[in-house]
Amino acid sequence: MAEPPHPGTALITGASSGIGRAAAAALAERGYRLLLGYASGVDRIGRVAADLGDRFGVDCVPIRIDLRDPESAVDTCLAAAASHPLTCLVNNAGVNDRSDGTAIDFARMNEVLAVNALAPIALASAVGKQMIDAGVRGSIVNVTSIHETVPISGGTLYCASKAALGMATKVLALEFARHGIRVNSVAPGETATAMNGVHDEHRYREIARPDIPLGRPGGVAEIASVIAYLAGPESGYITGTSVLIDGGLALTAAEANARYAGAQVNSDTRLANGRTA
């Protein structure tokens, strides 16, 4: 029996922890050679690379990428991929922010927009061109957030950055489609990661979230499985799509008001009938 075609090389930003580490594992299991992007914690990324190499027998190369400087990030990634043109890019790295809308710090604004939007867009553009030049029919997956479409108080910078990446995903998908390159995004809701204060990611099913219809946050492997699906040939007819992975949270937008309005109607009815609560 012939060996299946090698899936090629994937670059994952933010691969040292959380969703990025889980995505790296999911792609390693599929046989990808990995370029593991990280910003800090060289020891941590070294352990990730060694673990994935041992478990799946794939090459794992750590790459320090400063996403605060999009031009530098592009140069670093293209240089790392020069001898192994990418077949997959996962723009996963991001920073959270809950700055009050009346007190936006300019330095923080530049950092959030650079890391969450400008650098990923620049990388997608540059990697897309590299794929086109190499004749690669590849896949780009951007990790956005439920907050690319759903606002949250304190999220001016974060929501704006994720919305920008979400729209860029659609535009690049439209432009790259004629070259056989697909561009999609995954939009997680609350996910059990250290960035969200969960330091034991395996406990996600034990964490109660009553306002999420499925009653809990998501696990990193659940997000990673969708990333791997969008990277691979099984999703060959999907492009320009944002896959919401939120346990049903976005479905609840009108629920609180409906409960309040229903309680108010019942109260008014009781009063009209001469009764008090």
Q: How far apart are CA 46 and CA 64, in angstroms?
A: 11
Give the Å distances, CA to CA, from 191 to 10, 128, 144.
23, 29, 12
The DSSP bridge partners found for residue 133 are: none
- How far apart CA 244 and CA 252 sit, in angstroms, is 14
Q: How far apart are CA 9 and CA 234, in angstroms?
A: 17
CB 225 within 8 A of CB 195: no
pLDDT digits (tens, 9 = 90+) for 221-231: 999 999 999 99
Q: Which residues are catalytic?
A: 158
User: Could you tell me the CA-to-CA distances from 200 to 191, 221, 226 in Å, in that order?
Assistant: 12, 13, 21
pLDDT digits (tens, 9 = 90+) for 66-122: 999 999 999 999 999 998 899 999 999 999 999 999 999 999 999 999 999 999 999
The two structure tokens encoding residue 183: 């561009």
> Which domains, from first to last, does the chain contain?
9-246 (3.40.50.720)
List, for residues 139-165, the tens digit of each pLDDT value.
999 999 999 999 999 999 999 999 999
| Percentage with pLDDT > 70 across the chain | 91
